[in-house]
Amino acid sequence: MAAVQDGQLNLEVEKDIKTEITNDGSGNINANSSSPGSTSSGGKSKSPAGSGEDQQTLLAVLQFLKRNKLTESVDILRREAGLSADADDSPVSESAGAGSGGVPSVGADGGDANSLLSRVSIATPVAPPATAPPKVVAASGGEDQPDVNVVLSAYSQQGDPVLYPLYYNGLKKFIESVLDCHRAELSQVFYPLFVHMYLELVYNNHENEAKQFFEKFSGDQECYYEEDLRILSSMSKKEHMKGNETMLDFRTSKFVLRISRDSYQLLKRHLQERQNNQIWNIIQEHLYIDIFDGMPRSKSQIDAMSGSLAGEGKRDANKAKVFYGLLKEPEIEVPLDDEDEEAENEEGKPKKKKPKKDSMGSKSKKQDPNAPQQTRIPLPELKDSDKLDKIMNMKEATKKIRLGPDNLPSICFYSFLNAYQGLTAVDFTDDSSLIAGGFADSTVRVWSVTPKKLRRVKSAADLSNIDKESDDVLERIMDEKTASESKILYGHSGPVYGISFSPDRNYLLSSSEDGTVRLWSLQTFTCLVGYKGHNYPVWDTQFSPYGYYFISGGHDRVARLWATDHYQPLRMFAGHLADITCTLFHPNSNYVATGSADRTIRLWDVLTGNCVRILTGHKGPIHSLAFSPNGKFMASGATDGRVLLWDVGHGLMVGELKGHTDTIYALKFSRDGEILASGSMDNTVKLWDTLKAFDDVELDDFTAATGHIHLPENSQELLLGTYMTKSTPVIHLHFTRRNLLLAAGAYNP
Amino acid sequence: MAEERRPKQCTVVLPTESMKAMAESIGVGQLQEESCAALSEEVSYRIKEIAQDALKFMHHGKRCKLTTSDIDYALKLKNVEPLYGFQSQEFIPFRFASGGGRELHFYEEKEVDLSDIINTPLPRVPLDVSLKAHWLSIEGVQPAIPENPPPAPKEQQKTESTEPLKAVKPGQEEEGSTQKGQGATSAEAKGKKDGLMRMKPRSTHELSVEQQLYYKEITEACVGSCEAKRAEALQSIATDPGLYQMLPRFSTFISEGVRVNVVQNNLALLIYLMRMVKALMDNPTLYLEKYLHELIPAVVTCIVSKQLCLRPDVDNHWALRDFAARLMAQSCKTFSTTTNNIQSRITKTFTKVYNNCWLDDKTQWTTRYGCIAGLSELGPDVIKTLILPRLTVEGARIKAVSDGPVVSNIDKIGADHVQNLLLKHCASVIAKACPLPDNVEQYRADYGYLGPMLCSHVVKARAQAALQAQQVNRTTLTITQPRPTLTVSQSGIGGSGGSRTPSIIKVPSSLTLMSTRPGTPTQPSPPATKYIVMATSSGSSSTQQVLWTAVLLGGIQKIALFVNP
């Protein structure tokens, strides 16, 4: 692959070094295949750069290549160096083709799943190739002092500091005077421009001018940028810029704006007429303007999508196909339990049940056209116990209550008493038999909520005495003396922020401030593995719905995909610009969603490691995610108290649910996806009618193509119920297999 | 709002004085003004950075309160050694001191005697974490159980009763209930969630079977003979959050009960009913305003009724009157607003009755007692304006009964009680209002027959007040006692630098105890030197005491951490 694209590749490498675009949505393991993504942005920024500068960077690239012993590439680059001036403009169109072309080819790779299976399951990890680590470091900030200087030097070009406010004001006047339809679009430019102008002033030691500039114009910015502005305002000296993560984010990633062609032309003409090079330079260097043809967007459309740290996601970023369908369930003959059936028949609801069961059966037989191939990623084989559990699950499902606006679920609330503000994470098992809690005092506690008590397996010495042939050997290996309702797991050395049960209930994962993810056995109640990889607090971890894999994400901004039997990660997903605050597997286990403090949600392909969706629209760090059971939709909740609904297939925002007044820590769809439950710091559980929410959105081809959607203001109609707790923040929600809603939180008297 | 705040954010920096103080604490004496400014800016920036990171930990800890450990973790994130063992009992553990033109917040670290700690009994082990399940909602309806917040919050009940105009026309209500297809019981819940249509919930007149049973049980227990059961029932009324819907029944029960039992002179039952009123008033989830028209007449009856029991000479109906009077005063305090004017209306009622009996000698002592009790519970102002002027007349009347021929035992007892009541309530008011000294003759001239007795009561009251004041003093003394042990002085800027040796001197505690008024900072400051005075022991001027201390050392550094961005 590398040989084919050589000429282009070198240009890309060069750009990577020059601007340190470390992560353009796909910067991750597959270093080579990731670069097409970055070309699309790189190509455009290229044209204004002077040729002298080009020469320098070329030399730098050559050195870099030599150092890495990439002699072949060096030769090619040398050969092409003379032509580089001509090659400048051509990649713009080509690279776009390459960017979109790259992904389907990757998809084709997926067909070769058998070889992949061996790649994953054989101990040689596909993950971190040689190029990954340096990239990761660059993104994580902190230790990368040398890089900072490179990054910062871009600010060295400076104009007269006194003129900055004039420039800004001039643009402001211009934008205020343009036609209404363009004004909203062009106003998007204000914030990134403001930030970069301020940073330039600070970098060039114009402290007072910077302060004045900030005071004069910070009030104009949209309110949802307030948090970033606060960080900016504290930065008033060049020294502060070193190692400041927010600063780095602004530098390393281009702020993405979507502007219609007409509006863009208007802006361009204005700036060229005025000879306003200062602003033009900033726009060229630090902004990525995604131009689309068609009607300019309205203010509300823009507001719905903006708010993230680095602007909106590029349209290209959401073009890749996502197989959001569910995997076919393995066929398991359900042994007809006659007694059970009859007993229920007597209860008098036989009619309802029969058709439902049929529908279940037919669903599992047909292959969903949107589903990934069954073997796209290797999944663990079902064990006998898993099959038993599946059967149990199906049986329970037949007793499931159909929920709807007229049939709201009952909510059972589990309050943690005497937690002294220390409860940090909760999880339920899928069959709702166990609850685990993570605490600030580094402990993990597991409770059994059924009469069945928690028992440990006997010690090795005792086990050897057991008759292995006996029928009840599984009973015999348990140590009756250790039976208790709850167990405490000690091992972490910092607050436990994330916790997740494996689907087979044999394992428990916990992630902690101490930078480790631990795997606990629920048979022996001991720690089995400590996965070390994150050096900073790990905010969340989550098991795959099929077990074996799990995902973790934390302060280092990299999400890692692990398999329980590997001590090194299989995939590293780098791209977020701030802490990864929550992680979640897609129901088909082929994708992983991560929410971040940079106010974006990204969807990653487990197979290729590519970022396939960037969803923007939240105005605060995202703290909860949920997939609908059919895998088609996603819900996300953030500190801004809003729940946003997303169409995964189209990469579109399809709904906004307003009502909470504080951070939403828990989201869950009911088992049929008809109701969304949200739990928040404001001590309420709210139920939303998601069927109606998804129905209300009309998706025509145009909106699907452009992503410019009109959100209906219907939060009030969709809200089905609000349930106040008694000063107990809701931090976890779970629907049992029969659609009873369980909620959990710590009582704060 | 945001615009107002932002410029401020830009400029918040630590004062340069703090930098100086900190520098001094580590032995750097002369710090240039410029370096102070540079330092303070840098430190402010770092502090803001750390605070921002700490907030992250707070969010992930699912709390709304930033703790010291969050800051520790944030420091760890930055590879900075965290502060070990910083903890405080108070929310903001800083003290403020000023003097010599400088203002200072510092963290007070008390010196702890190890033997004290060893000898104190171990504190109780905190309870272990436990799990408790309850129904937050059953098929969309929130059950009214103690684990859930009250169905209709008190605020809502209040707005309903005070602003009934917000009620919505019936048509809309119909629409609302049919739309959701739910029973009438959830109409209330809907009123809450539909922020747009604030409708007055249709009060349900049909109680559920459980509620009917509960009502029956409670009312029977309240007026029944078993005291233990009654206590339980009253406890339930006072704490149960789900009584909102039964409130009309209870209030009718009480008012009817009083009406019947007053006629029958059934003292015990009246007492029980009044206790029910008290329990209802104590329930934090109920707002009684809507039912006061039934409750107040019942209570007032129990205060001023001529006869409340069968044998007025033996039974202690006085206690009931006192109790009811207190209830009355309590409800006045809680529910009196400018629109309903309960307090003034009640006062008028009492005064009217009282005037009647003043004019009319024939009025029963019982009623008179009730009026006085009711009035005097309303507060010292009422006593001063309405009762004190009548003391002379009242005194004469009491004298007539006690000195005169024995008419009836009942009258005599009545007069006795009225006298005690008057003395009790008036004495404290007079003690506060009148200047010293207490002259018996003066009192006799002012208040007639009751004067001398009143005088002795006032003297007693004054003595008691003085005693209490002393106790209060003593407690403050114990609180402030450790503080004056440390004073700060002389930071010798521009003075002879060599002579300044920081030292820690602990003042013997006996010395501080001698100083009668600790905590008032005096200022022995000659013009050239700067002092930061926390407190001085005024008596011991010969020893200029205690300078730089560990308190400031550790304290200021910690202050720095707590300046919010």
**Residue closest to A330 by CA, chosen among A372, A371, A374:** A374
pLDDT at A730: 93
- Residue pair B99/B525 in contact by the 8 Å Cβ criterion: yes
Nearest residue of B to residue A681 by CA position?
A: B62
Whether the CB of B55 is below 8 Å from some CB of chain A: the reply is no
Of A323-327, A550-554, A633-637, which range is least confident?
A: A323-327
Q: What is the pLDDT of residues A426-475, one digit of tens each?
A: 999 998 899 999 999 999 999 999 888 888 888 888 888 887 777 787 78
Separation in Å, CA A6 to CA A32, A77, A679:
11, 9, 52
Which of chain B's residues have a Cβ under 8 Å away from the Cβ of A405?
180
Q: A234, A674, A682, A684: best mutation site toward chain B, by most B Cβ within 10 Å?
A: A234
Nearest residue of B to residue A220 by CA position?
A: B3
Strand order in the sheet with A591-596: A580-585, A591-596, A600-605, A611-616
> What's the mean pLDDT when you consider all of chain A?
76
For residues A138-151, average pLDDT: 44
Nearest to A722 among B64, B128, B193 (CB): B193
Nearest to B73 among A231, A513, A621 (CB): A513
**Residue closest to B79 by CA, chosen among A147, A540, A536:** A536
Of A142-151, A528-537, A686-695, B550-559, which range is least confident?
A: B550-559
Q: Residue A678 contacts by C-beta under 8 Å, 6 or more apart in sequence?
A: A624, A635, A637, A643, A657, A660, A664, A666, A667, A685, A686, A688, A733
Six-digit token string for B290: 């809507």
DSSP lists the bridge partners of residue A721 as A687
CA angle in degrees (0–180, nearest 5) for A78-A8-A249: 105
B238 DSSP 8-state letter: H
Whether the CB of B56 is below 8 Å from some CB of chain A: the reply is yes
**Residue closest to A603 by CA, chosen among A575, A563, A641, A643:** A575
B391 vs B4: CA distance, rounded Å: 61
A362 DSSP 8-state letter: H
Nearest residue of A to residue B177 by CA position?
A: A406
**% of residues, chain A, pLDDT over 70:** 73
**Residue closest to B347 by CA, chosen among B294, B384, B318, B319:** B384
CA angle in degrees (0–180, nearest 5) for A232-A579-A532: 140
Query: DSSP states of B393-409 as a string?
Result: HHHHHHHHHHHS----H
A125 vs A325: CA distance, rounded Å: 27
CB contact under 8 A, B7 and A215: yes
Q: Say whether the ipTM exceeds 0.85.
A: no
pLDDT at A445: 94
Whether the CB of A716 is below 8 Å from some CB of chain B: the reply is yes
Question: For strand A411-417 and strand A741-746, is the pairing parallel, antiparallel, or unpaired?
Answer: parallel
Both ends of chain B: CA-CA distance in Å?
17
Shortest Cα distance, chain A CAs vs residue B470, angstroms = 36
Strand order in the sheet with B130-137: A732-735, A741-746, A411-417, B130-137
B341 vs B349: CA distance, rounded Å: 12
- Residue pair B343/B336 in contact by the 8 Å Cβ criterion: yes
Identify residue A640 by its one-letter amino acid code.
Answer: D
- Residue pair A380/A548 in contact by the 8 Å Cβ criterion: yes
For residue A292, how many C-alpha atoms fall within 13 Å in the half-sphere facing its CB? Answer: 18
| Main-chain dihedrals φ then ψ at residue A133, nearest 5 degrees | -55, -50
3-class DSSP string for A472-490: CHHHHCEEEEEEECEEEEC
CB contact under 8 A, A234 and B135: no
Shortest Cα distance, chain B CAs vs residue A232, angstroms = 9
Whether the CB of A715 is below 8 Å from some CB of chain B: the reply is no
Nearest residue of B to residue A659 by CA position?
A: B193
Q: A223, A233, A730, A734: best mutation site toward chain B, by most B Cβ within 10 Å?
A: A233
DSSP lists the bridge partners of residue A530 as A518
- Residue pair A599/A638 in contact by the 8 Å Cβ criterion: yes
A716 vs B175: CA distance, rounded Å: 16
Identify residue A722 by its one-letter amino acid code.
Answer: T
Identify residue A198 by its one-letter amino acid code.
Answer: Y
Is A498 a residue whose pLDDT tops 80? yes
- Among all chains, which residue has been given the structure tokens 């890089």? A147
* Alpha helix segments (H runs only) across A454-549: 460-463, 473-476
Which of chain B's residues have a Cβ under 8 Å away from the Cβ of A407?
139-140
pLDDT at A705: 59
A375 vs A342: CA distance, rounded Å: 39
Both ends of chain A: CA-CA distance in Å?
62
Query: DSSP states of B172-229 as a string?
Result: HHHHHHHHHT--GGGHHHHHHH-SS---PPPPP-SPPHHHHHHHHHHHHHHHSS-HHH
Which of chain A's residues have a Cβ under 8 Å away from the Cβ of B135?
410-413
Is A141 a residue whose pLDDT tops 50? no
Which of chain A's residues have a Cβ under 8 Å away from the Cβ of B124?
none
Whether the CB of B193 is below 8 Å from some CB of chain A: the reply is yes
Which of chain B's residues have a Cβ under 8 Å away from the Cβ of A662?
64
Which of chain A's residues have a Cβ under 8 Å away from the Cβ of B565?
230, 234
**Residue closest to A689 by CA, chosen among A278, A263, A404:** A404
Identify residue A453 by its one-letter amino acid code.
Answer: K
Whether the CB of A495 is below 8 Å from some CB of chain B: the reply is yes
- Residue pair A521/A506 in contact by the 8 Å Cβ criterion: yes
Is A291 a residue whose pLDDT tops 70? yes
| Main-chain dihedrals φ then ψ at residue A667, nearest 5 degrees | -140, 145
Task: Report if pTM > 0.80.
Answer: no
CB contact under 8 A, B129 and A495: no
CB contact under 8 A, B138 and A410: yes
Q: Residue A349 contacts by C-beta under 8 Å, 6 or more apart in sequence?
A: none
Query: Which A residues 556-595 touch B at CB under 8 Å?
Result: 579, 581
CB contact under 8 A, A415 and B147: yes
Whether the CB of B114 is below 8 Å from some CB of chain A: the reply is no
Nearest to A497 among B3, B60, B130 (CB): B60
What does the longest C-alpha to C-alpha distance in chain A come to?
91
pLDDT at B106: 76
pLDDT at A193: 85
CB contact under 8 A, B56 and A579: yes
Nearest to B131 among A244, A414, A726 (CB): A414
Confidence band, pLDDT 50/70/90 cuts, at residue A359: very low
Q: What is the pLDDT of residues A577-633, one digit of tens each?
A: 889 999 999 999 999 999 999 889 999 999 999 999 999 889 899 999 999 998 989
Question: From the CA atom positions of chain B, what is the Rg in Å?
Answer: 33
| Tens-digit pLDDT string for chain B (565 aa) | 434 444 444 567 788 888 888 888 888 878 888 888 888 888 888 888 888 889 999 999 998 888 888 888 999 888 888 777 666 666 677 777 777 777 777 777 778 888 888 888 888 888 888 898 999 988 888 887 878 887 666 666 666 665 555 443 333 333 333 333 333 334 344 444 444 444 545 545 667 788 888 888 888 888 888 888 888 898 888 888 778 778 888 888 998 988 888 888 888 888 889 988 989 888 888 878 888 888 888 888 888 887 777 777 777 888 888 889 888 888 888 887 777 778 888 888 888 877 776 556 666 778 888 888 888 888 888 888 888 877 777 787 787 777 776 667 777 788 888 888 888 888 878 777 776 676 777 777 777 777 778 888 888 888 887 777 666 544 333 333 333 333 333 333 333 333 343 333 333 333 333 333 434 444 443 443 333 334 333 333 333 333 333 333 334 444 334 433 3
Whether the CB of B402 is below 8 Å from some CB of chain A: the reply is no
CB contact under 8 A, B129 and A226: no
CB contact under 8 A, A405 and B180: yes
Identify residue B122 by its one-letter amino acid code.
Answer: L
CB contact under 8 A, A724 and B133: no
pLDDT at A624: 94
For residues A75-101, average pLDDT: 48
A260 DSSP 8-state letter: E
**Residue closest to A391 by CA, chosen among A434, A338, A437, A333:** A333
Phi-psi region of B519 (alpha: psi -120 to 50; beta: other; left: phi over 0): left
Query: DSSP states of A614-643 as a string?
Result: EEE--SS-EEEEEE-TTSSEEEEEETTSEE
Query: Which A residues 53-92 touch B at CB under 8 Å?
Result: none
Which of chain B's residues have a Cβ under 8 Å away from the Cβ of A494?
73
Q: What is the pLDDT of residues A722-739, one digit of tens each?
A: 999 888 999 999 999 989
pLDDT at A205: 80
Whether the CB of B108 is below 8 Å from some CB of chain A: the reply is no
Which of chain B's residues have a Cβ under 8 Å away from the Cβ of A495?
57, 60-61, 73
Count A/B contacts: CB-CB distance under 8 Å.
169
Choose between A104 and B304: higher pLDDT: B304
Whether the CB of B209 is below 8 Å from some CB of chain A: the reply is no
Q: What is the pLDDT of residues A381-409, one digit of tens each?
A: 888 888 888 888 888 888 888 888 888 99
Shortest Cα distance, chain B CAs vs residue A452, angstroms = 16
Whether the CB of B57 is below 8 Å from some CB of chain A: the reply is yes
CB contact under 8 A, A724 and B148: yes
3-class DSSP string for B322-347: HHHHHHHHHHHHHHCCCCCCHHHHHH
B399 vs B447: CA distance, rounded Å: 13
Question: From the CA atom positions of chain A, what is the Rg in Å?
Answer: 27
A36 vs B315: CA distance, rounded Å: 99
Q: B62, B134, B179: best mutation site toward chain A, by most A Cβ within 10 Å?
A: B62
Neighbours of A464 (CB within 10 A): 9
